Amino acid sequence: MSPLISISGLNKFYRKNHVLQDINLNVEAGQILGLVGPNGAGKTTCLQALLGLTRYKGDIRVLGHNPSKHRTKMLESVAYIADVAVLPKWIKVSQALTYMQGVHPNFDGKKALAFLAKTNIPMSATVKALSKGMVTQLHLALILAVDAKVLVLDEPTLGLDILTRRQFYSHLLEDFHNDDKCIIITTHQIEEIEHILTDVAFIKDGQIVVNESVEGIRSRFKLLAVTNENLAAAKAFAPICVNNMLGLTSMLFDDADLDALASIGQVSSPSLADVFVGIMTQEGVK
């Protein structure tokens, strides 16, 4: 099966800054890929290149389309929520629905209305009058009503409270995702979306440093809790990250011998956040 998104040799320069360095990524139907990295790592630039919103070097195919050449055609089957509140302040909810109905061939107005009916967003309100959470819900209603194959979300819950964030992701899974579609999502709150991701790509200084399925990451990386007497033995296995807390040391290992680790301490599967922090704070990862 050919991937819905295929990125190979993606490079992007801002003047002399090499902000994306030889990015290679494939996303297939059914996958929910988390593109995770610290601020300034290149996540948003990567997504903008994917959507044809910025110039780039390399080859990108989204549903077989070249985003820089066939952006309009591609966007008929791709939906996007940016990392900032981008709905125009002057537009009314009803106008936003009418506009989407008029310009988007795959927009289902009834679906959007059904979604909005679950919220307390009035149809006559302008975006300016809505709270930040309501604006996100409105944007989500507009986007989820599009029969898109690819959904691109760039920090979609930034600045929202935890209730709205959870609601957002549950709607995403209930109302959008199925095996024919894929989602690519960037976020800082990796622990909140860990359970919905199928794959993760960690991006650091414009480079993809890890690109694996969530299951693969959990079996590849291990967290070891050791007491001080076994510290030297544990360090011999070359941990990628060491953390001391309350007399107990935890270490993150990449592809280490599980039995050997178990003999010197308590082994557990790290969360994605643990792996992310470990990788971002070490010098290099194999």
Partner 1 sequence: MNLMQIFIAFRKELWEFKKTLFWVPIVIGIFMITAPLLQLLLLESAQLRIVIEGVSNADSLIHINGLTQIFLATIMGMFAPFILVGLVIQLYYFTTCLFDERRDQSIYFWRSLPVSDLQNIMVKLMTGALVVPAIFMLAATSVVFIFVFFALIGSCILGSGYDVSFWELWRHADILSHLSSVWSGLFFYALWMFPLFSWLMLASMYANKAPFLWAVLPVVLLLIVEFYVVGYLKLESHYLREALWEYLALARELIPGSIQQEDNPNHIFTSALWSKISLIGTALGIGFMCLTHWLRVNRSHL
Residue 80 vs 221, nearer CB to partner 1: 80
Interface residue list for partner 1 (CB under 8 A) = 51, 53-55, 71-76, 79-82, 84-92, 95, 98-105, 139
Q: Which is nearer to partner 1, 52 or 239 (CB)?
A: 52
Helices (H), the chain: 43-50, 71-74, 93-103, 109-117, 132-144, 162-171, 190-193, 214-220, 231-235, 258-262, 272-281
**Nearer to partner 1 among residue 102 and residue 247 (C-beta):** 102
- DSSP β-bridge partners for residue 92: 126
CA-CA-CA-CA torsion sign (177, 179, 180, 182): positive
Q: How far is the CB of 111 from partner 1 (least distance, A)?
A: 16
* Residue 68 CB, nearest approach to partner 1 (Å): 9
Longest CA–CA span in the chain (Å) reads: 69
Q: How far is the CB of 128 from partner 1 (least distance, A)?
A: 10
Closer Cβ to partner 1, 83 or 194, answer by number = 83
- Write the CA distances from 161 to 105, 119, 191, integer angstroms: 33, 16, 15
Q: Least Å distance between CB 230 and partner 1?
A: 52
Closest distance to partner 1 from the beta carbon of 127 (Å):
9
DSSP three-state, residue 104: coil
Closest CB to partner 1 among residues 71, 218? 71
User: Please, which residues have CB within 8 angstroms of residue 17's CB and are 6 or more apart in sequence?
Assistant: none
